């Protein structure tokens, strides 16, 4: 097996993929981005993924392909989908993609993928404690990682806060939609959200990913939390790199039910 794994990140607006050199924790070639089909059914998404695989087939050999999905992935099955077509719900998606694409596929939640990537190569590299990564984008994704081991499928974006689904108040897409300033968004929306997560989990570190983390300077200091918070380092590479890590983990630990352990566990 070579150490180059293709990671693909399925998002609400784009499907992005690149072969990842997992020795270096970086792309082996430039990434390819194709807009998510407006009807984002598994069938239409699989067609786009097929195009991305074709593009890089020469570098990845027989390695499984890792795909990050914006919903919880329970042993390859999707039972809840907030921001893609509802045809995903009830789908044994790993089997479905393997049948369509003719190769081994490993699925992982997108925020879990980003969390794995940040713990292996980024802002929380080798962190010895409890890290919670959140991604702020169309929705809010979350990954809980304790001493390098991921506790998969934490749907902390859907905590109910003041009677609302938290991501419908605090995601960066809501900031844009409602035209909130950074200050309004940070103090009125993010502050209660992170205070609540902090109270529930007592993490050692928050890492914040998603496109808006690049504007960290504009809002990071406005939050008042006990827990240190740092922007993600890998930015929009994290989902792809984490999906590739999950694919490698599946090869190395074929009997493990769901992702993913740290290298030295
Ligand atoms: C989904 C999560 C996902 C997050 C970010 C949420 O709506 O339920 O599974 O990680 O969006 O895409």
pLDDT by residue (tens digit) across 122-161? 999 999 999 999 999 999 999 999 999 999 999 999 999 9
Same domain, 105 and 127: no
Average of per-residue pLDDT across 191-201: 98
Instruction: Clarify whether residues 137 and 71 are in a common domain.
Output: no
Q: In this structure, are 14 and 98 located in the same domain?
A: yes
Listed in sequence order, the residues at least 6 apart from 164 whose beta carbon sits closer than 8 Å to its beta carbon are none
From 93, 109, 139, 173, mutation site for ligand 1 pocket: most ligand atoms within 8 A of C-beta:
139
**Domain co-membership, 92 together with 151:** no
pLDDT, position 257: 60
Q: Are residues 76 and 135 in the same domain?
A: no
- The contacts of residue 169 (CB under 8 Å, 6+ apart) are 161, 162, 189, 193
Assess whether 9 and 90 both reside in one domain.
yes
**For residue 53, is it within any domain?**
yes
Q: What separation in Å is there between the alpha carbon of 61 and the centre of ligand 1?
A: 30
Whether residue 58 has pLDDT greater than 70: yes
Handedness of CA 236, 241, 244, 245 (dihedral sign): negative
Whole-number Å distance, alpha carbon 138 to ligand 1 midpoint, is 8
**Which residue, by CA, sits nearest to atom 9 of ligand 1?**
71
Nearest 5°: CA angle at 142, between 150 and 88?
95
Q: Are residues 14 and 95 in the same domain?
A: yes
Q: Which of 69, 113, 157, 212 to mutate to test the pocket of ligand 1 (most atoms within 8 A of CB)?
A: 157
Distances (CA, A) of 136 to 8, 59, 179: 19, 32, 16
Count of the separate structural domains present in the chain: 2
Nearest CA, atom 10, ligand 1: 141
Do 129 and 75 reside in the same domain of the chain? no
**Domain-located, residue 181:** yes
Give the distance (Å) from ligand 1 centre to CA of residue 58.
Answer: 32
13 CA from centroid of ligand 1 (Å): 13
Q: What's residue 1's pLDDT?
A: 66
When pLDDT is averaged across residues 17-33 and rounded to a whole number, the result is 97
**Locate tokens 């900031």: which residue?**
175
pLDDT per residue as tens digits for the range 91-131: 999 999 999 999 999 999 999 999 999 999 999 999 999 99
Binding-site residues, ligand 1, Cβ < 6 A: 70-72, 82-83, 109-111, 135, 139, 141, 155, 157, 167
Residue 214 inside a domain? The answer is yes
User: What pLDDT does residue 265 have?
Assistant: 41
Q: Torsion-angle region of residue 90: left (phi > 0), alpha (psi -120 to 50) or beta?
A: left
Residue 17: in which H helix or E strand, if any? Answer: strand 14-21
pTM metric for this prediction: 0.95
pLDDT at 112: 98
What whole-number distance in Å separates Cα of residue 213 and Cα of residue 241? 17
Q: Could you tell me the residue range of the domain that residue 169 belongs to? A: 123-232
240 lies in a domain? no
**Same domain, residue pair 41 and 98:** yes
Give yes or no: residues 140 and 105 share one domain: no
Residues 91 and 142 in one domain: no
Q: Are residues 30 and 64 in the same domain?
A: yes
**Helix or strand run (H / E) with residue 94:** helix 93-101
Residue 30 pLDDT more than 90? Answer: yes
At 254, the pLDDT band (50, 70, 90 cuts) reads: confident
Q: For residues 181 and 265, what is the distance between their CA atoms, to the nearest angstrom? A: 44
Whether 251 is covered by a domain: the verdict is: no
Looking at 79, 109, 139, the residue that finishes a domain is 109
Query: Can you give the pLDDT at residue 261?
Result: 45
Peptide bond into 260 cis (omega under 30): yes
Question: Is the pLDDT confidence value at 74 over 60?
Answer: yes
CATH number, residue 66: 3.30.420.40
Cα 166 to averaged position of ligand 1 atoms, centre (Å): 11
Which atom belonging to ligand 1 lies closest to the Cα atom of 81? 8
Atom of ligand 1 nearest to the CA of 72: 9
Share of the chain above pLDDT 90, in %: 92
**Distance from the alpha carbon of residue 124 to the mean position of ligand 1, in angstroms:** 21
The reply to whether 258 falls in a domain is: no
The dihedral through the CA atoms of 143, 28, 46, 74 has a sign that is negative
Beta bridge pairs of residue 191 = none
Look at residue 159 and tell me if it is in a domain.
yes
Residue 69 C-alpha to ligand 1 middle, in angstroms? 8
**Residue 216 counted as domain residue:** yes
Nearest CA to ligand 1 atom 8: 71
Rounded to 5 degrees, φ, ψ at 240 are -70, -45
Q: Identify the CA nearest to 107 among candidates 81, 127, 133, 130.
A: 81
pLDDT digits (tens, 9 = 90+) for 229-247: 999 999 889 999 999 999 9
């Amino acid at each position: 097996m070579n150490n180059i794994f293709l990671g693909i990140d399925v998002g609400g607006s784009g499907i992005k993929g690149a072969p990842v050199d997992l020795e270096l924790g970086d792309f082996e070639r430039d990434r390819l981005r194709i807009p998510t089909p407006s009807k984002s059914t598994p069938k239409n998404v699989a067609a786009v993924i097929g195009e991305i695989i074709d593009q890089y087939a020469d570098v990845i050999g027989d390695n499984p392909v890792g795909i990050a999905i914006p919903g919880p992935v329970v042993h390859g099955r999707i039972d809840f989908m907030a921001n893609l077509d509802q045809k995903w719900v009830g789908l044994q998606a790993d089997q479905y993609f393997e049948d369509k694409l003719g190769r081994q596929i490993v699925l992982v939640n997108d925020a879990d993928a980003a969390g794995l990537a940040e713990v292996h190569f980024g802002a929380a590299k080798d962190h010895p404690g409890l890290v919670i990564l959140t991604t702020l984008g169309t929705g809010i994704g979350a990954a809980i990682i304790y001493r390098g081991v991921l506790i998969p499928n934490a749907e902390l974006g859907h905590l109910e806060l003041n009677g609302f689904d938290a991501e419908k108040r605090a995601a960066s897409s809501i900031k844009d939609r409602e035209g909130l300033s950074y200050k309004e968004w940070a103090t009125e929306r993010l502050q209660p959200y992170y205070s609540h997560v902090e109270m529930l989990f007592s993490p050692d570190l928050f890492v914040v990913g998603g496109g808006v983390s690049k504007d960290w300077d504009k809002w990071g200091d406005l939050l008042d939390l006990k827990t240190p918070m740092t922007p993600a380092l890998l930015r929009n590479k994290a989902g792809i790199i984490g999906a590739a890590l999950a694919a490698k983990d599946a090869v190395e630990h074929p009997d493990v039910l769901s992702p993913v352990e740290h290298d030295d566990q």
